[in-house]
Structure 1
């Protein structure tokens, strides 16, 4: 599902909460926020703190998937993308120091 606005995120949160048959008070308690905060988020509050939104999604069993616009939807049958190479910051600093000498 693509979420492009705070209102769409709020609608998703409300729909999932209802799907799980949770009241706002119950979900708010699980997340550690007030019921009015949750209500405002469900109505599309544009200034909600990202950390609290992520906790709300986690409490609902949801995850956030960010993609570059235009990329295809993730396909569970597609092979995983290769991981980025490990970077050794100490090696980079040592090389930089040697080059300065």
Structure 2
């Protein structure tokens, strides 16, 4: 469960390491600088707006939980699959 910007940064760091990415490799892949990613992982720097979002969620008794995204072709697991497609 994530309730602070620092929690999110730590979760990103863990996920990056588990994926075998260096900070530079992930930064390149995400289109951000390594310095930005480093600050983000530390829960510092460009987190003001995210911090406000997390504060609002916390005030509501809610938190963010990271889960692995489904594979792009996992339509069977998508509860919204077919809702926006044209009819038969």
- What TM-score results when the alignment is normalised by the length of structure 1? 0.47
User: How far does residue 45 in structure 1 lie from its aligned partner after superposition?
Assistant: 1.6
Gaps of 5+ in 1: 51-65, 74-101
Rg comparison, structure with higher value: 1
Counterpart check, 1:4 vs 2:9: no
- Map 1:82-93 onto structure 2 (within 5 A): none
| RMSD over aligned Cα atoms | 3.0
Gaps of 5+ in 2: 51-56, 66-88
Superposed CA deviations along residues 21-47 of structure 1, whole A, max 9, x for unmatched, are 100011000110000000000000263
In structure 1, the residue matched to 2:39 is: 40
Count of aligned positions: 56
In structure 1, the residue matched to 2:78 is: none
In structure 1, the residue matched to 2:28 is: 29
User: How far does residue 69 in structure 1 lie from its aligned partner after superposition?
Assistant: 2.7
Higher RCO, 1 vs 2 (CA within 8 Å, ≥6 residues apart): 2
- What TM-score results when the alignment is normalised by the length of structure 2? 0.53
In structure 1, what is the Cα distance between the partners aligned to 2:10 and 2:25?
18
Kindly report structure 1 stretches of 4+ aligned residues shifted beyond 6 Å. none
